[in-house]
Chain A
Amino acid sequence: MLEIVFYILSAITLGTAFLTVYSKNPIHSAIYLVVSFFSIAGHYLLFNAQFLAMVHIIVYAGAIMVLLLFTLMLMNLNKEDEVSKPIYIKFAAVFSAGILALVLISALKTAQPEMIEYVSSNEDYQSIKVLGKVLLNEYMVPFEFASVLLLVSMIGAVLISKKEEKI
């Protein structure tokens, strides 16, 4: 049962990710990307990682997609006027992506990560309660630095996109 759900979700993830890259209209790409993000959140739910599934939907499908769509609308890019690359560069892109996939999959398959048999202990390690304790005890300093990073990037974004006077 779960296996069928996994295969359907994987097909949706890969298909919409490819359509994101391939479709000519940037707005369609953004819509496909939202579908892809939701299917990845579905994968997180299959792992029973509720916290990550929620945060993933909020951050990616909420914040990042709104930002991307806002920029797309601002630049009025919804017309299909993108000049495509020359054919030999397209061929090179397909070729190198295929080679990358081949090397990654064969290397990861040969590495044999499933040597240890997976046994599920019934210990709770990924509920929100446990994750919060781990985050605020073990990873306290990185957590604070993440807030500094967000603050700095916010200030940077405002400073960069501010309209400057002509010299």
Chain B
Amino acid sequence: MQSILEQVGIGNYIILSALLFCIGAFGILYRRNAIIMFMSIEIMLNAVNLLLVAFSTYHQDASGQVFVFFTMAVAAAEVAVGLAILVSIYRNIGNIDIDNLKNLKG
């Protein structure tokens, strides 16, 4: 079977993942809505997953894909706990604007 890496090359995947990661980081810096920041974190995790699968195919080793599987489990756990925290923040201050959370500032 012909592999995608013979035609596209690992370098293109590295650039794609780096750009995707930077879009996620940009979202964290640019937005104030906490749910959009969660989505940006998901985008960053997906960039890392994509590169892990690319190198798993490159070295023809199944361990990379198993690691991606664990990353997905951790992402699901993170989203569940994070959204629970957001719901409880929303109950207390009425919105989820990150810049309003400055009770610890003194």
Contacts and interface: CB of A to CB of B under 8 A. Distances in A.
Nearest to A163: B91
A20 B29 CA distance: 14
Interface residues of B, number: 75
Nearest to A127: B62
A68 B83 CA distance: 8
| Main SS class of interface, A | helix
A74 to B, nearest CB: 7
Contact of A113 (B10, B53, B62, B85): B10
Interface in A79-116: 82-85, 90, 92-94, 96-98, 100-101, 104-105, 108-109, 113-114
A51 B62 CA distance: 11
Interface residues of A, number: 84
A52 interface: yes
B32 A82 contact: yes
A97 B22 contact: yes
Interface of B: 1-12, 14-16, 18-27, 29-33, 35-36, 38-40, 42-43, 46, 49-50, 53-54, 56-58, 60-63, 65-66, 68-70, 72-81, 83-88, 90-91, 96-97, 99
Given A21-B43, A105-B14, A138-B66, 14 more contacts: A36-B43, A59-B76, A60-B42, A97-B30, A104-B18, A104-B22, A109-B14, A118-B58, A120-B2, A142-B70, A146-B74, A153-B77, A154-B80, A161-B84
